[in-house]
C-alpha cells in the first residue's frame, strides 16, 4: 500500500467524520478538500469508521444484548462519529423530491429543516441497516463485523464517483469546492475498496457474498445517478451523501441475501 494513501487517511477521516485525527506534519486547519488527492484514501478511511462500528457490534452481541440491540448500537455509533453526514444528505434529497420543478427541488434541498419525506426516508434507512446487521449476526459476529466494515468502506466510493458521473446541479454548491476527482484517483479508490472487501468478505462469507453485495451496491448507485439526473439536473453534496448511505445499505442487503444462498 503506497505511503501516500496511508498518509492521506487522517485527512479523509476528518472529511468523512468528526474524528479529530491529525498528523503532526499536517496544518492546524483544513481548507477545501482535494478529492482528487484524497480519493484513494476514502475507502480505507471508511473501513476505519466501519471497524469502530463493528467493534461495538461484536462487544454488544458478546455481552448478551442480542442482535437487535447490538446492531442498533453499532449504527448509532456510526451516525455519531460521522456527524450524520450521509443521513442528512438522504433526508434532504427525499424532501426535495416533493418539489414540482428542478429549481424548487434544489431550493428545498438547501433548507436545513427536515420534512415528512426526509423523516420517512431516515426511518426506512435505519430499519434496513439495523435489520440487515441483525440478520447477518446469524452467520456469526465475525461475519457480521466483516460485512459492516466492507460495506462502510465500499460505500465511500459512491460520493467520489457521483462527482464524476453527473454535472453540478448548482453553480454555487459546496460540492464544487472539492473538485472532480480524476480517472486515476477514482480507479485507485476502486482498487482499494476491492482489496478491503475481498480481504474481509471472501474468507468469512465467501466470494458469492462479495459478488452479491457488490452488485446490489452498484445497482443502488446507478439508480441514484438516474434519479438525480432526472429530478435535479445533476449532483450535489446531498446527492453524494444519499448515494453513499444507500450503497452501504444495498451492499449489506446483497451480502445477506447471497450469504444465505445454498
Q: What is the mean pLDDT of residues 197-217?
A: 93
**pLDDT band (50, 70, 90) for residue 23:** low
| pLDDT at position 246 | 97
Q: What is the mean pLDDT of residues 182-197?
A: 92
Distance of alpha carbon 258 from alpha carbon 216, whole angstroms: 10
| pLDDT at position 21 | 75
**pLDDT band (50, 70, 90) for residue 69:** very high
Percentage of the chain modeled with pLDDT above 70: 89
Q: What is the mean pLDDT of residues 77-93?
A: 94
Half-sphere exposure of 147 (CA within 13 A, CB side): 41
Half-sphere exposure of 21 (CA within 13 A, CB side): 19
| Apex 245 CA angle, 78 and 160, nearest 5 | 110
Phi, then psi, of 168 in degrees rounded to 5: -70, 135
| pLDDT at position 2 | 60
Does 1 score more than 60 pLDDT?
no
**pLDDT band (50, 70, 90) for residue 198:** very high
Domain definitions of the chain by residue range:
3-259
Q: What is the pLDDT of residues 87-143, one digit of tens each?
A: 999 999 999 998 888 889 888 888 888 889 999 999 999 999 999 999 999 989 999
> DSSP states of the chain as a string?
--HHHHHHHHHHHHHHS------TTS-SS--S--HHHHGGGHHHHHHHHHHHHHHHHHHHHHTT--HHHHHHHHHHHHHHHHTTHHHHHHHHHHHHTT-SSHHHHHHHHH--S--HHHHHHHHHHHHHHHHHHHHHGGG-HHHHHHHHHHHHHHHHHHHHHHHHHS-BS-SS-GGGGG-PPPHHHHHHHHHHHHHHHHHHHHHHT-HHHHHHHHHHHHHHHHHHHHHHHHHHSSB-HHHHHHHHHHHHHHHHHHHHHHHS--
Does 177 score more than 80 pLDDT?
no
| pLDDT at position 181 | 80
| pLDDT at position 26 | 60
| pLDDT at position 114 | 86
Q: Which residue has the higher pLDDT, 250 or 12?
A: 250
| pLDDT at position 30 | 62
Q: What is the pLDDT of residues 221-242, one digit of tens each?
A: 999 999 999 999 889 989 999 9
Amino acid at each position: 500500500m503506497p505511503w501516500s494513501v496511508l498518509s492521506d487517511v487522517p485527512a479523509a477521516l476528518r472529511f468523512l467524520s468528526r474524528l479529530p485525527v491529525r498528523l503532526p506534519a499536517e496544518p492546524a486547519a483544513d481548507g477545501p478538500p482535494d478529492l482528487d488527492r484524497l480519493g484513494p484514501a476514502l475507502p480505507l478511511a471508511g473501513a476505519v469508521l466501519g471497524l469502530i462500528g463493528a467493534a461495538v457490534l461484536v462487544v454488544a452481541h458478546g455481552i448478551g444484548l442480542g442482535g437487535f440491540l447490538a446492531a442498533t448500537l453499532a449504527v448509532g455509533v456510526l451516525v455519531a462519529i460521522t456527524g450524520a453526514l450521509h443521513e442528512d444528505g438522504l433526508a434532504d434529497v427525499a424532501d426535495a423530491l416533493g418539489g414540482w420543478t428542478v429549481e424548487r427541488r434544489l431550493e428545498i434541498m438547501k433548507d436545513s429543516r427536515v420534512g415528512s419525506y426526509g423523516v420517512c426516508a431516515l426511518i426506512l434507512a435505519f430499519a434496513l441497516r439495523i435489520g440487515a446487521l441483525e440478520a447477518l449476526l446469524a452467520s456469526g459476529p465475525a461475519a457480521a463485523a466483516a460485512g459492516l466494515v466492507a460495506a462502510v468502506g465500499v460505500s465511500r466510493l459512491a460520493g467520489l464517483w457521483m462527482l464524476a458521473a453527473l454535472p453540478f446541479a448548482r453553480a454555487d454548491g459546496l460540492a464544487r469546492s472539492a473538485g472532480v476527482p480524476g480517472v486515476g484517483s477514482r480507479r485507485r479508490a476502486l482498487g482499494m475498496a476491492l482489496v478491503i472487501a475481498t480481504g474481509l468478505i471472501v474468507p468469512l462469507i465467501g466470494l458469492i457474498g462479495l459478488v452479491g453485495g457488490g452488485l446490489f451496491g452498484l445497482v443502488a448507485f446507478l439508480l441514484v445517478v438516474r434519479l438525480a439526473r432526472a429530478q435535479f439536473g445533476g449532483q450535489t453534496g446531498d446527492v453524494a451523501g444519499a448515494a453513499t448511505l444507500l450503497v452501504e445499505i444495498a451492499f449489506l442487503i446483497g451480502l445477506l441475501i447471497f450469504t444465505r444462498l445454498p
